Structure formats: structure tokens, C-alpha cells
DNA sequence: TAAACATGTAATCAATGCAGTTACAAGAAC
DNA sequence: GTTCTTGTAACTGCATTGATTACATGTTTA
């Protein structure tokens, strides 16, 4: 099991749009940087657009961020690309036997724990923004 | 995407073995409580055995916990049933274009963040033991 | 206005993982 | 030695992922 790379690609796309501000970032251009097919990029950009993170127009090349770098959290991107459903990171077997002490109670015992674990993971993304990503990339670039 | 229910079932199995101490918990019996096939239970129990959490003997019904309830963390179970590989909860697209500022640096920028998110999630399980689970189930039982 | 280029989206495909099921070898106990 | 158990392997249907092709629709520009 692994969470879809749509999340990583989404971050890549947004960082690239910002760092390539001077020219239009077409889906073809972005696909070259990500190393995948342009249709894959367009699909993910459609999700980012739907979430209000970027502005794109049919027929016109490129996209621009809807908000400042510091106003786009990694959690925003995570939700946009729909890689994990709300409180469904962990699956729980259903219909355990109701006449068994464990079967009767296991779901309500485990659910809040799984929710807490998922929340702890998501909080990491809430505390980071695209600005952190872009600055890190720029810092690495200046060293070389 | 969802993490395999093997984890939830693993917790169920271990709690049941403890709460059903007086009689032998055969794979058939456990399967009834979990509501699945006995072969599925045996497969998961094989993983728990391999991880040193339970003792089972081929041919003899039932299993017993290898350690005290308080000495078995949910993280131990999580690792035992192998639902998420080490530092691979999130997948990252590979071979981004090396001639691009973003492509060149995105992996090393994102990787530590994904690792931190996974660690935050796993820490929740490190801080909980089977004892917490069993006590919660018992508490619910006493209310009813 | 027509050709060239862009996005949006649907359909298809191979690969993978999950969970259920059946089957059976090997061990244990009565 | 019959019966019950665990341990495994093989196969199934199903869902998701990511790549790919194709094409309708919109925009630009020559």
C-alpha cells in the first residue's frame, strides 16, 4: 500500500508554476519536468483548479497560483488531489460478530485511534506551505 | 487508497486471544468473531507469530500472547502485519527531469517531509498498547 | 478565417494489492 | 487411525494507479 504520487506531483506542479513565473507552464512543459504524460498532468491540474489553488483557462497555455505561496499549505494540496478520504486512511473489517465481546466493541475502540493517527499525519502538512518548499529548492540551487 | 484491514484484524485477534483466555481460540473461532474466512485469520496469525507476538503450534488449537498486554504496542502489530513499508507511506514520482530546477531538487525536498508525516502517524501507535485496547473493550462491556 | 496549439475529459490497458475461497499437506490429540 | 488443527499455495473478483491515446472545445495568430 502506498498513497498515490498525485500528492507529490501536485506539489511539483505548483512549485514549478511559481519558479517558472516568467514563461507559461503548459501541461506539456510540466510533464517534461515531472517525467510523465501531459494528460496525467492535466488531470491533476484539474483537481488543483477545482480546489481553487490555481487558475487555468481552456485553450490558453499556462496557469497561475490563486494565492500567495505562504497561503497554500501542503494540506490544501493533499486534500485537492484526493489521495486519502476523510478518516479512511485505515480500513476496518466490517460486520464483526455482534455476539462476541470483542466483535461487538472493536470498531468503536479502534476508530478514534485510527482517526488520531491520521490527524497526526495530516497536521504535519497543515504546518507547511508551498513557500517552505520553494525556499528549500532555491536554497539547494544556490549551494550548487 | 486505504491501509489494509490486516492491521485492524490483527488487533482484533490479539484482543480476542486475551479476552478468551479460558478456552482455545482456534482460527475458525476467531474467524467467526472477525467475520471472515479462517484462512485469512491463519495468514495474519502467521505474521503475528513471525513477529514474536504470539505462540502457535501447528496442529494444536489456539494461541497465546508471547508478552504481557502492556508490552505489546499497536506499533508492534502495525509492523507485524506489514501494511506500510518503512518510509514508503507516500509514493514519489521517480526520474523527474534533472535539468529542471524543480525536477532536480523536488525529491530531496519532499522526502523528509513525507517521512516526518509518516513518523507522526506511527508515533500514535507507539504510545498505545494492547492493554489500552482490552481495557477499553472491558469498560464498554461493563456499562451495558 | 484557417491552421496551430492549448486545455478538458473519456476510454482503455497493464500492473498491483486486497480479501475471500478452496484445497491440501503436515502435525497433534483423542 | 480418525478427527481436528495449523500452515500454505493457488485462484478468483474487485479496485486503484499511472500511462496512453483520442478527440471535442477553446484560444491565438498569421
Q: Is the CB of A58 under 7 A from strand D?
A: yes
Q: What is the DSSP letter of B82?
A: T
- If we measure between CA atoms, which residue out of B35, B39, B1 comes closest to residue B16? B35
Contact A93 B9 (CB under 8 A): yes
Per-residue pLDDT tens digits for A114-134: 999 999 999 999 999 999 999
- Rounded Cα distance between B80 and B124, Å, is 16
CA distance A60 to chain B (A): 23
Q: Is A90 on the interface with B (CB under 8 A)?
A: yes
Cell numbers at A2, concatenated? 502506498
| pLDDT score recorded for residue A22 | 87
Positions on chain D within 7 A of a protein C-beta: 4-10, 16-22, 25-28
Per-residue pLDDT tens digits for A41-69: 999 999 999 999 999 999 898 899 999 99
* pLDDT surpasses 90 at B48: yes
Q: 3-class DSSP state for residue A35?
A: coil
CA distance B52 to chain A (A): 22
Q: Which residue is nearest to nucleotide D21 (CA to C1')?
A: A39
Q: Residue A94's closest chain B neighbor by CA?
A: B35
- Rounded Cα distance between A44 and A52, Å, is 13
Q: Is A135 on the interface with B (CB under 8 A)?
A: no
Please give the angle made by the CA atoms of B20, B26 and B27, to the nearest 5 degrees.
115
* Domains present along chain A, CATH in parentheses: 6-84+128-143 (1.10.10.10)
Amino acid at each position: 500500500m502506498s498513497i498515490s504520487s498525485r500528492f507529490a506531483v501536485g506539489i511539483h506542479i505548483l512549485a514549478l508554476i511559481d519558479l517558472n513565473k516568467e514563461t507559461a507552464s503548459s501541461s506539456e512543459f510540466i510533464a517534461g519536468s515531472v517525467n510523465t504524460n501531459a494528460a496525467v498532468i492535466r488531470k491533476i491540474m484539474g483537481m488543483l483548479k477545482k480546489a481553487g489553488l490555481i487558475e487555468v483557462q481552456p485553450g490558453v497555455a499556462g496557469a497561475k497560483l490563486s494565492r500567495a505561496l505562504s497561503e497554500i499549505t501542503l494540506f490544501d494540496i493533499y486534500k485537492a488531489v484526493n489521495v486519502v478520504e476523510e478518516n479512511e486512511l485505515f480500513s476496518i473489517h466490517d460486520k464483526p460478530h455482534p455476539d462476541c465481546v470483542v466483535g461487538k466493541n472493536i470498531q468503536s475502540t479502534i476508530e478514534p485511534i485510527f482517526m488520531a493517527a491520521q490527524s497526526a499525519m495530516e497536521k504535519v502538512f497543515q504546518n507547511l506551505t508551498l513557500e517552505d518548499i520553494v525556499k528549500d529548492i532555491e536554497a539547494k540551487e544556490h549551494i550548487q
